[in-house]
Amino acid sequence: MPGNQKPEPFVLTGNFDGQDLSNDCTVYLPENGKTSKDDVLNFPAFKDWLKRLLYNLQRQEDEAHEFHSNKYRLTEIDVQAADWFTKTRLGFLKIQAKVENGAGESLPGAVFLRGGSVGILLILEAYDPKDPQRRFEQQTIVTIQPRIASGSLALAEIPAGMLDGKGDFAGKAADELKEEVGIEIKEDDLFDMSKLATEQIPTYPWAKGKTPGPLSESIENSMYPSAGGCDEFLPLMLCQKRLTVEHMEKLDGKKTGLRKEGERIRLRLVPLKDLWKEGGRDAKALAALALYESLKREGWVPSMPTKPDA
């Protein structure tokens, strides 16, 4: 598409990827002409967000829904900006969605679309082969790296990474631990704390005193770090490892990350009991720690491995 040609809007009507539209929805593309209709419609974060929103808007047809008497409708999506990671890989979209009811009341619709990420609480315990009975204080790994959005060049976080839209949470978490920490794990080593905590807690938009309908909303079994303006969801995983003292010493201060993608990561070992302070600026760390302590209190956390990795 020519760079200076203002693109024409297009209309979504009838059905979008299996979800019914109760009315037409006009979609406006960025004025610079560099992002096409197909780019937007094929962007996994846009597809997932729109499918979920349409599904949940349809729940208003149930008489028990809080908004049944004056339903909200999606009538317009203004794609204001697109950020491309490469010439062929779309990274983020900034959109303004118009969602309003028959009385002209609207809901805040500014959304930064980026898709899901995964965060990993990695708990390590040292093992001394010369003294197998010796017990060590549990440690966790934080990554120290520049985060320009925060204005920091050395923000402490638990390991994390963007999902690829395929829904393979455990596989992506394993990849991130290899890239950021240098530890290779099997997917079976990962424990999805978010799923266990939330999968039996649906979101029910039913009015008080009404009999709930048979279906709850569509929502991820994950933590939403900034639901007021961003679609990002974060399944929080637990990985527990026993490593030799020598291996643990090599991890502390190790430099890692994919340099070609601009990653400059330094690892730091932190006592698990101090993570609430050392990772206190990282929402992922605080949420993961709260989940871990709550699940442990309920007796649902797997035991630490008794043998070290080879």
What residue ranges define each of the domains in the chain, with the CATH number in brackets?
10-113 (no CATH), 117-297 (3.90.79.10)
Contact between residue 195 and residue 280 where contact means Cβ atoms under 8 Å apart: no
pLDDT at 8: 93
Mean of pLDDT over the chain? 91
Structure-token pair, residue 70: 């004056």
Q: What is the pLDDT of residues 54-108, one digit of tens each?
A: 999 999 998 889 999 999 999 999 999 999 999 999 999 999 999 999 999 999 9
255-268 burial, b at 16+ Cβ within 10 Å, e below that, comes to ebbeeeeeeebbbb
Mean of pLDDT values over 291-310: 91
pLDDT at 1: 45
pLDDT at 118 over 80: yes
Taking phi over 0 as left and psi of -120 to 50 as alpha, with beta for the rest, 29 belongs to beta
Beta bridge partners of residue 124, listed in sequence order: 139, 241
Q: CA 268, CA 140: separation in Å to the nearest integer?
A: 8
Mean of pLDDT values over 22-46: 96
Lowest mean pLDDT among 2-11, 58-67, 177-186, 277-286: 2-11
pLDDT at 183: 85
Length of the chain, in residues:
310
Query: Sign of the CA dihedral 93, 99, 104, 105?
Result: negative
Q: What is the pLDDT of residues 246-276, one digit of tens each?
A: 999 999 998 876 656 656 889 999 999 999 9
pLDDT at 177: 80
**225 Cβ neighbours under 8 A, 6+ residues apart:** 232, 234, 283, 284, 287
Q: What is the pLDDT of residues 208-224, one digit of tens each?
A: 777 666 668 999 999 99
pLDDT at 2: 46
